[in-house]
Amino acid sequence: VDVFQAWCGPCKTVVDLFRKIRNEVGSDLLHFAVAEADSIDALEKYRGKCEPVFLFYAGGELVAVVRGVSASLLQKTILEKL
């Protein structure tokens, strides 16, 4: 989940990376979503930050958090969690 705030929007550059990984892996287990922290109470702790935050869930549980845009770290985290 790409957590963003309304004033800065979701991280568009990472969407291409996510698509590339999904195409390479071909996994039905891999899904991407965006969520506006300003409108979701459960994401309140991510408000007021200028860096994007990526939350990784498996089985309904939070399993990893990546702060900032690092293509190599995001790819590594995705592949490890799959």
The DSSP call for residue 64 is E
* Structural domains of the chain in order of their starting residue, each with its CATH number: 2-81 (3.40.30.10)
In 2-70, where does DSSP find H-type helix?
Answer: 12-25
Q: Are 66 and 54 in contact (CB under 8 A)?
A: yes
**From first to last of its 82 residues, what are the pLDDT tens digits of the chain?**
888 887 776 677 787 888 888 888 877 878 888 888 888 989 888 888 777 889 999 888 999 999 888 888 998 998 898 8
Q: Determine contact, residues 1/35, Cβ cutoff 8 Å.
A: yes
DSSP summary character for residue 61:
E
